[in-house]
């Protein structure tokens, strides 16, 4: 019977461990699904019902939010344009009637820049310089046009027997005050200086 020495025991132990290492598969951690959400049924234990990727779900929600925001902005813009168009139509109709009362063609209200000429020179009886200031103001300098428009509309209001406050209303809220002036009972006075009775009598004496 062979004698077991310390050297033999060491070789036997090394061979045993090598043999076990060859037969045992390496310990590898199971892959972990990153950013994966598991939904388990509450009534069926731990059975997996659905698996959704968190990134895809977040992208879906973000896209839906962006679509909703875009639709809201578009709807708001459409409502704004409809309101502006309606107010412009009301202002044009009111100005049309004002022009007719002043003995001017009503259709001039729908012709750009020509309506400013009629309003300034023919209705308000202002110098043509104010019309030039209006045109330059609308093209180049907005505040200049606003100042000139205040002066012209105040004079228009006076031609119809209204005060300066009404002229300010014609400038700032034309869609309200122009229909009032056009469809109301106010009559246009050309602004020509009327001869007094004393002047008439004096002429007769001559």
Structure tokens at 23: 């037969």
- Is residue 190 predicted with pLDDT exceeding 90? no
Structure tokens at 100: 């007719």
Are the beta carbons of 162 and 130 closer than 8 angstroms?
no
Digit-coded pLDDT (tens) for 47-73? 444 544 556 666 766 777 777 788 889
Digit-coded pLDDT (tens) for 1-19? 455 565 666 677 677 666 6
Percent of the chain surpassing pLDDT 70 = 64
Would you list the DSSP string of 61-72?
Answer: HHHHHHHHHHHH
Tell me the domain boundaries of the chain. Answer: 63-183
CA distance 151 to 167: 8
Whole-prediction pTM: 0.60
- Is residue 203 predicted with pLDDT exceeding 80? no
Vertex 180 angle, CA 178 and 182, to 5°: 65
Are the beta carbons of 181 and 160 closer than 8 angstroms?
yes
CA distance 57 to 37: 10
pLDDT band at 35 (very low <50, low <70, confident <90, very high): very low
CA distance 173 to 167: 10
């Amino acid at each position: 019977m062979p004698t077991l020495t310390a050297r033999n025991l060491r070789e036997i132990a090394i061979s045993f461990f090598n043999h076990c290492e060859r037969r045992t598969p390496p310990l590898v951690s199971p892959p972990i699904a990153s950013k994966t959400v598991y939904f388990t049924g509450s009534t069926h234990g731990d059975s997996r019902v659905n698996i959704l990727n968190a990134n895809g779900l977040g992208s879906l929600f973000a896209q839906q939010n962006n679509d909703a925001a875009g639709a809201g902005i578009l709807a708001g813009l459409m409502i704004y344009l409809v309101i502006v168009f309606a107010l412009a139509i009301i202002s044009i109709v009111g100005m049309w009637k004002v022009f007719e009362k002043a003995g001017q063609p009503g259709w001039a209200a729908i012709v750009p820049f020509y309506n400013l000429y009629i309003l300034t020179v023919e209705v308000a009886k202002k110098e043509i310089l104010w019309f030039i200031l209006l045109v330059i103001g609308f093209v180049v300098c907005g505040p200049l046009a606003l100042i000139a428009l205040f002066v012209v509309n105040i004079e228009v209001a006076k031609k119809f027997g209204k005060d300066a406050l009404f002229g300010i209303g014609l400038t700032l809220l034309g869609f309200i005050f122009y229909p009032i002036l056009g469809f109301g009972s106010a009559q246009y006075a050309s602004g020509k200086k009327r001869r007094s009775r004393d002047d008439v009598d004096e002429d007769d004496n001559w």
